[in-house]
Structures are given as C-alpha cells and as structure tokens.
Amino acid sequence: MPVDLVLFDCDGVLVDSEVLSARVLADEATALGYSLSPEDCLDRFTGISMAAVRTMIEADLGQPLPPDFEARIRAADQRAFACQLRPIEGVEAAIRALDCRRCVASSGSPEKMRFTLGLTGLLPLFEPHLFSASMVARGKPAPDLFAYAARQMRVPPAACLVVEDSVAGVTAAVAAGMDVLGFAGGAHCRDGYASMLRRAGARMTFERMALLPALVAQGR
Ligand SMILES: [Mg+2]
C-alpha cells in the first residue's frame, strides 16, 4: 500500500537532541534533590512530554516540583541547543527526496519544535504542519497525537507512515493503526536500541536517514 503521509517525530529523528536534553534534565532534577543520571533520563523519559515527566518525578518524590520546573528546563535546553544541536545526519536530503506529504508530530511544545527545527534549518520543510502533544488530551504512548495529526492532514491511518526513535512513540503509532519505522541512528541509541523498538512494534528499524526515501517508496 502506498504511503500518502510521513509523520516524523522531532527529537531523535529530525534533530539529535536527546543526549543534550537528558543532560539538562538530569542536572535540573538532581539540583532539586531528585538524583538522576543522563542515562536514567534516556531510559525513562525519551519520547514523552514534560508534563508526563513532571508527573512521574513528583510521584517518586512524593511532593510537587517547583512551578518553574518546565521553564528552567526550557531555558537550559535552549542554551545547550544553541551551541550544540545538530540535525540528524542526512535528514534534510532524505526529506527532500520524499514524494509524499509530511508533517511533524512531537511530544515537545510548539515553541521547542520551532526552536530546534529553526536552528537546524529544517523548519521550512514542514511549516505549517507541526503538531505537538500540547494539542491533544494524552501524549505518547497514547495514539492521540498521531491520530490528530493525520486527521488534520486528511489522510487515513492506513496510508500513514510514522518515523519514531522512542518506545513511547512506536507504541503510540501502533495504537493509532499506523505503520511505523524505528530510527535507531541518534546519538542516544545504544546497543540493543533497535531491537527494543522492534519489540515495541516497529515493522523494521534503520540507522541511516539516507535509506528513508527507498523505505517510504516501498510502501507497507
Ligand atoms: Mg523522539
């Protein structure tokens, strides 16, 4: 079946942000008395929204985080991204080679998406088709965001292909009834990462973005 719409996750698929974000979150949480390593953050929080991260940390701590927690993370993320963020290698050429429609569906806020895609030169390839977990009731791993994005793009789930790098995102795509490819080429992907995405339901995994146009052209 041909693919009419490719839905790209942002962090870890378009921009190589996950290692940078994990360092920021580990530092901020540890400063608040909740000791975390960057590896802990990658294991537990990759692919989910900051609202969900707050809920999980508060449940463990047994007390609320400060009201400015997200604002502090956002500011620290922006400082790290401004000097260190890179696009995923080869992603711009891969996107330009696709001959179907595309959008972004991210657990990040619209502001974060615009900032990171703007820094890496990818924003003009997607505007105005940017969808955030803040636009739906439940973020990934619930299917809401992918379902919402596909409805807005007027493409049925069976004609959608999701590209995801996290277990939460792969799970969300499967729950939305969409075909999903796991991307395991980001700096945060360690040994066994691809098989973890396949266990979550990715039909296949790949590690070089240059392969994407051919995978999309194959259909499902
Ligand atoms: Mg991701």
Instruction: Report how far ligand 1's centroid is from the alpha carbon of 25 (Å).
Output: 15
Residue 181: pLDDT band (50, 70, 90) is very high
The yes-or-no verdict on residue 220 having pLDDT over 90 is no
Instruction: Report how far ligand 1's centroid is from the alpha carbon of 194 (Å).
Output: 13
pLDDT digits (tens, 9 = 90+) for 87-141: 999 999 999 999 999 999 999 999 999 999 999 999 999 999 999 999 999 999 9
The yes-or-no verdict on residue 143 having pLDDT over 90 is yes
Closest Cα partner for 49 from 121, 131, 154, 115? 131
* Beta carbons of 140 and 48 less than 8 angstroms apart: yes
Instruction: Report how far ligand 1's centroid is from the alpha carbon of 108 (Å).
Output: 9
Instruction: Report how far ligand 1's centroid is from the alpha carbon of 22 (Å).
Output: 12
Write down the pLDDT at residue 174: 98
The yes-or-no verdict on residue 1 having pLDDT over 90 is no
Task: Give the E-state strand segments of the chain in sequence order.
Answer: 5-8, 101-106, 130-132, 160-164, 179-183, 204-206
Instruction: Report how far ligand 1's centroid is from the alpha carbon of 118 (Å).
Output: 17
What span, in angstroms and rounded, lies between the C-alpha atoms of 19 and 191? 15
* Beta carbons of 180 and 202 less than 8 angstroms apart: yes
* Beta carbons of 91 and 14 less than 8 angstroms apart: yes
Query: Taking all residues of the chain, what is their mean pLDDT, rounded to a whole number?
Result: 96
Write down the pLDDT at residue 43: 93
Q: Which residues are the active-site residues?
A: 9
Instruction: Report how far ligand 1's centroid is from the alpha carbon of 20 (Å).
Output: 13
Write down the pLDDT at residue 196: 97
Write down the pLDDT at residue 219: 85
The yes-or-no verdict on residue 158 having pLDDT over 90 is yes
pLDDT digits (tens, 9 = 90+) for 28-61: 999 999 999 999 999 999 989 999 999 999 999 9
Domains recognised in the chain with CATH numbers: 5-17+85-218 (3.40.50.1000), 18-84 (1.10.150.240)
